[in-house]
Structure 1
């Protein structure tokens, strides 16, 4: 089956590339695109430049999913909205979670932001993790992804790119008090899930507030082979509040609160036997609970002065709860972990036009991350308890501060974006028993250069060169204990920072009828922190340790296109992303890099039959991936013979019954195909019907 699947995948990729090439000849005058279209190149972004600017006009490679598209996808987690989009591969280890792989990098190698505040903390793994799902996907207004190192504006962790999740602004016109709101219900058949969302907003010109709550109840999943997958249900509760008001002309304050909790989510891949396993690794493994609490204060200034034309100051505090209850298979000892990462941060960003050709951006940031961690063990037969070594060294702290400056310089048909950033980290990890403490203060000067050349009003040649830097965090330095795949992690106090250099180049075009992009990239990653086998065992488990032993080469092509027919009101679109990676490890020679996605993407058509009725059909696809690293081959989540290619046929019908009430029915995986995304820990849903009802008032 795998060999026969290569041809259609290559055909789909060829279609995407061919449509982009044809677009050079067909592109017409520039005009704004609908916000629902993630492939559209003439939408407005804020992440790549920290100011509103057309994605067509910035050199950086970006993927935007707007509010309407988010509402259409009705995601369980924010990452669900990025399936098949350009340069964003979705990996899911267990239910209720998800992570985006950007240019072969993931976890702490990609910076995740919520309304400008770092979601990444000092216990973020440089591997798939569960924390992104603690952002309520139903509360978001848009997701912006900047692909490639964004070292000037964002610094550490932005090695592969930046994923920013943005919630709606609350603004009203007129002096009279106004109200609006929305009720939403989403029901899906493959997991008998139900998502409910209620939100209300009120205000007048210069003042407004919003309040929203979301509830998710997800049951065990049915995959394409007709089996019900145990340990795939979860519950999540979320709430958000925002208050914005003008304190003076040109000065706005915003105060926001966000809360999300999964009370008891199973670790599916640890509770069912994986590839190469007869028994599961654990008899009990629950994230109990996972939670995120976030508060933010923003002061926005849109009144020009001698220092800046506009500016923002952010003050925020985030607490991520990562508590666990687990028991190994075949033992009566149950462990309960209590882990907290508290992040406090302040940042400022400012912009000023200097003449007609320069826009200068500059800013600063400071973050402090503090870790609390403890573990107790209980014998479930006798009830006896004891204190055990925690997952992370309790009392660890990581401070990071930085200053940066960047310039957007337009010269004739050229647009240069360049800048530099100085970053410093102070890391303190207390010693425990025979394990020594760690005190590190790494710093570095990083920067990037982006160039856009105007071929025509709606076509740009682009190129970006960047250098990134990531200091080891608390997870890298201090994590120890059992790991998936019968491994035991020992701490390493001698880690040093990682570095990446990157270059990409391609073409962007955005017109009324056709828009798209083709971007080729290459990245050289050195001193990469990698988990390696030490050759020792701890009990029956293989001992592993994080070490700066890897050099990673990543390269690939990202492409997307959209063509709008003038009559009927129809759009055709296609995306394709191909990535390849080679890793050179001091202890084991050269091998394929870990968890590199296969060729993947989406091909579809959207037809607005009439104002009240819309139809969409699309194919999601991925080729086989049998280029596995030695770590991939022993990972029970990955078939050691490789992950087979797949394709699913999907459709969506939307009906606007009135100005206030809308219904949509989406049918996923109509062929009921049994498949798994490469690197994921559970199979994907079988045939799945999703009904969405929205009522606005």
Structure 2
């Protein structure tokens, strides 16, 4: 670490520059009314503030050229170029709008702020406004109906996003840009995204294409980046606070969260505590309560930011969430278990981040992030008619260090350079206990105890922006060392590596229409779950294999983006070729403990192709009509059968009426029947014989905002449709209602 420390110190040493300021007033176009609470950001960087009750703002910054980004709920985002040399004044007028598609500034595609419309990639964005209005029960459920995203729920305490037909190990999950995926991430659906408190989230970005160049292994289908609430600096010192409460019908949810914070020109802090109690799920017509599915959740988080002079901003954050007694419903219902549950299901994340802003063409800014994360998964199960309780506990601790440097050697050329280091260590134990006598026997855990996975990567992303043309390109080299200390098979160490690249183009035929295309290679290094699993997983018994190689993919996509004052759309087609894909094959033995025995091999070549459409139309003043439709087709070429768990044709459509004080929405979500099944799907007891039936649900929602008070409510599944999202182990929620109240202090 001495060499790392010396390098970082050299990178952030520079001459202190005297700060200047930019100030002004933000008004509503047409009425000249001052707008309070408008977000003001200087890009690149993290300097920001909000307007006061008179619509005024003031920001201190070192001299240089910036982009001033001005955004607010219900208004079109404005971006202006400004050169800060002395005290500058810039007044801004915002135009009201209901359109959000193609309007966002996103961070996930290039790991820095950039406008999404001009990029070749397509990003689905869930904003703070939508999160407040929808008040989601969990983070996975917040993604339900998002363009290009499908949601599978093995249990009520889970939720795994499918991005372009891939999930689990092939979809990368991030929290504030830090990897959530680790050495024991399971193949197929998992519950890890549910270990984030939804009320701590500020926005969610889903990059619907390969992301291996920017983020490394696992980003074959796409990247889901959950960005938590960030405290803002303010010229006016003061304390802040927020209280949230939500209740759902039939006792299905009782949620609460309290926040407190402090803000000034140089220090901003916010922290929160949340408690949630979820009752058993009430499904649709004829299904009734699905017991057991309820559980409890306790979480806390804190984030602090400090300005260290005019050049540096430091951030420190800690998150801790624990879920207790989370039942796996389909195990109890279909596999003769008296009980089968996760207890606890816990995630802890701590990170420190230092950002330095230099203004040099070859070193505009530097960001260094050190992180530590621990995921704990306890499992207890007992079958009917047996006295033995199986107690398992897996723990994965991850340390990370990331260095990002941003350069702009020319006005049209931006470069993002990065170095990443991650180190995982796995602890896994199991004990079989006779509940009648209390006697116990220690056995090998699901994973080899003491297994490790280390990775080191370097990458670079380039963006060339001309009047009508945007070109992107990048590359990454990633090296891994994975050690499996298996007692029966002997210790094994493998050192896979990968070199991946991407290139994209976005061309403005006219200012409102852009043609986009890109090609991206991606990879997934085999992890400890792949190489060392021994035990019951889903409906099979898995045995280890330490000779696996990285999975590979090549994704090609093309489409069109449209953005006018009253209409926005995105249409994209893609084809993702998968090679060396890791799949389960029968291991020759008939069964162990009544389960068929499987082994993982690099045995498959496959492809997934699809078409995604997303439309928003401002049909009249205050009226927004929107919809999306997603088609996915997957084929396992090697096995000459459909690719596993491919989502059915699905979509969402709705209409929203909104004014500054209130909003109303009618929405329908639908999915076609999925009867195109792989053999693994047919063997999966969560999927009905003959496939998953199609379904359609209708929801009505609305809300009112007065000063610092927001009330939102929803009538869900009005027709009480009995439905299940394809591959899930629980059914969808039946006719129900919820109401949520948020008060700012």
| TM-score normalised by the chain length of structure 1 | 0.91
Pairing 1:551–2:605 present: yes
Query: 2:354, 2:394 → 1: CA distance?
Result: 32
Ranges in structure 1 where 5+ consecutive residues have no aligned partner: 1-28, 274-279
Pairing 1:470–2:518 present: no
| Residues 560-579 of structure 1: pairs in structure 2 closer than 5 A | 560-567=614-621, 569-579=622-632
CA contact (8 A) 1:35 1:65 kept: no
CA shift for structure 1 position 483:
2.3
Matched with 2:320 is: 259
Matched with 1:636 is: 685
Q: 2:423 aligns with which of 357, 364, 368?
A: 368
CA contact (8 A) 2:692 2:726 kept: yes
Query: 2:183, 2:250 → 1: CA distance?
Result: 36
Query: 2:614, 2:549 → 1: CA distance?
Result: 38
> What per-residue deviation string (whole Å, max 9, x for no partner) do you get for residues 93-130 of structure 1?
10121110001110111111101110001000121111
Task: Describe the shift of the 1:444–1:611 C-alpha distance in structure 2 as closer, same or farther (beyond 3 A).
Answer: closer
CA shift for structure 1 position 281:
4.2
Query: 2:667, 2:76 → 1: CA distance?
Result: 26
SS at match of 1:171: coil
Query: 2:95, 2:694 → 1: CA distance?
Result: 32
> What per-residue deviation string (whole Å, max 9, x for no partner) do you get for residues 141-199 of structure 1?
0000001111211111111111000012212321x421222111111115531111111
CA contact (8 A) 1:437 1:493 kept: no
SS at match of 2:490: coil
Pairing 1:594–2:644 present: yes
Pairing 1:223–2:283 present: yes
Pairing 1:526–2:579 present: yes
Query: 1:494, 1:641 → 2: CA distance?
Result: 36
CA contact (8 A) 2:99 2:566 kept: no
Query: 2:95, 2:397 → 1: CA distance?
Result: 39
Query: 2:434, 2:578 → 1: CA distance?
Result: 45
| Residues 123-162 of structure 1: pairs in structure 2 closer than 5 A | 123-162=184-223
Q: Which shifted more, 298-307 or 380-389?
A: 298-307
Matched with 1:115 is: 176
Pairing 1:64–2:125 present: yes
CA contact (8 A) 1:221 1:232 kept: yes
> What per-residue deviation string (whole Å, max 9, x for no partner) do you get for residues 599-640 of structure 1?
1111000002x4323110010111110001100001011012
Query: 2:336, 2:676 → 1: CA distance?
Result: 26
CA shift for structure 1 position 213:
1.1
| Residues 622-633 of structure 1: pairs in structure 2 closer than 5 A | 622-633=671-682
Matched with 2:447 is: 392
CA contact (8 A) 2:552 2:580 kept: yes
Pairing 1:46–2:107 present: yes
SS at match of 1:71: helix
CA contact (8 A) 1:31 1:42 kept: yes
Q: 1:210 aligns with which of 270, 285, 289?
A: 270
Task: Describe the shift of the 1:447–1:396 C-alpha distance in structure 2 as closer, same or farther (beyond 3 A).
Answer: same
Pairing 1:92–2:141 present: no
Query: 1:224, 1:616 → 2: CA distance?
Result: 22
Ranges in structure 2 where 5+ consecutive residues have no aligned partner: 1-74, 79-93
CA shift for structure 1 position 414:
1.9
Size of the alignment, in residue pairs?
Answer: 654
Matched with 1:10 is: none
Matched with 2:165 is: 104
> What per-residue deviation string (whole Å, max 9, x for no partner) do you get for residues 370-427 of structure 1?
0001111111222211111111000000001100112111345221110110100011
CA contact (8 A) 1:99 1:130 kept: yes
SS at match of 1:309: strand
Task: Describe the shift of the 1:31–1:74 C-alpha distance in structure 2 as closer, same or farther (beyond 3 A).
Answer: closer
Q: Which shifted more, 329-338 or 97-106?
A: 329-338
Query: 2:467, 2:245 → 1: CA distance?
Result: 52
CA RMSD of aligned residues (A): 1.8
Query: 2:307, 2:562 → 1: CA distance?
Result: 38
> What per-residue deviation string (whole Å, max 9, x for no partner) do you get for residues 487-540 of structure 1?
211111111110000000000112220111000000000111112222312242
Task: Describe the shift of the 1:534–1:39 C-alpha distance in structure 2 as closer, same or farther (beyond 3 A).
Answer: farther
Pairing 1:422–2:485 present: no
CA shift for structure 1 position 584:
2.6
CA contact (8 A) 1:271 1:284 kept: yes
Query: 1:329, 1:515 → 2: CA distance?
Result: 56
CA shift for structure 1 position 84:
1.1
CA shift for structure 1 position 340:
0.4
SS at match of 1:60: coil
Query: 1:692, 1:89 → 2: CA distance?
Result: 25
Q: Which shifted more, 133-142 or 321-330?
A: 321-330
CA contact (8 A) 1:91 1:98 kept: yes
SS at match of 1:553: strand
Q: 1:178 aligns with which of 215, 238, 246?
A: 238
CA shift for structure 1 position 357:
1.8
SS at match of 2:187: coil
| TM-score normalised by the chain length of structure 2 | 0.86
Query: 1:679, 1:325 → 2: CA distance?
Result: 23
Query: 1:539, 1:262 → 2: CA distance?
Result: 29
Query: 1:264, 1:539 → 2: CA distance?
Result: 25
Q: 2:331 aligns with which of 244, 250, 270?
A: 270
Matched with 1:511 is: 564
CA shift for structure 1 position 437:
2.2
Task: Describe the shift of the 1:54–1:120 C-alpha distance in structure 2 as closer, same or farther (beyond 3 A).
Answer: same
SS at match of 1:272: helix
Query: 1:660, 1:453 → 2: CA distance?
Result: 43
CA contact (8 A) 2:448 2:486 kept: yes
